Amino acid sequence: MLDYSFVLDRLPDTGALHRAISEVFAVDPGGVHVGRLYEDGGGSPATVSCTYIDLDGGEFAWRVDVTTDDTVAGPMEAEVVAALCRRFGTRALLPLDEDSDQLRRLITASEDRVVTIDLDALDENRYVLAE
């Protein structure tokens, strides 16, 4: 089972996101669920579930969670996020493996680098680049 969580600067069209998730994870579209967190009851059982929630502000205003069942063996989180960023022209922030709240991994269609986020904004659950 895979479990990914990241933030995006904007949410793609949900139909296009559904197709992209199906392709990135190489699963039948019927086995993919895309829906708003807490609002759609989770849908029917899915091989890959992609839920999202509006964080109400900040540069990266959408949290996206992707989970899979035990039949899916990859790809890695950064590969999934990079594929989505290339496809939709979005920017994403991923947590680093380090114990720093201030450092995040920024992935765009053309780059992948470590950035610093504003901790005061983060206290309000808003993701804003400090640089």
- Contact indicator for 77, 4 with CB cutoff of 8 Å: yes
Pick 124 or 88 by higher pLDDT: 88
Report pLDDT digits (tens) over 32-79.
999 998 776 655 668 999 999 999 889 999 999 999 999 998 799 999
Report pLDDT digits (tens) over 6-28.
999 999 999 999 999 999 999 99
Q: What is the pTM of this model?
A: 0.91
Backbone angles phi and psi of 4, in degrees to 5: -120, 145
d(CA 88, CA 84): 6
Question: Residue 93's closest CA among 32, 4, 3, 16?
Answer: 4
- Positive or negative torsion for Cα 90, 86, 72, 113: negative
Tokens of 68: 């899979």
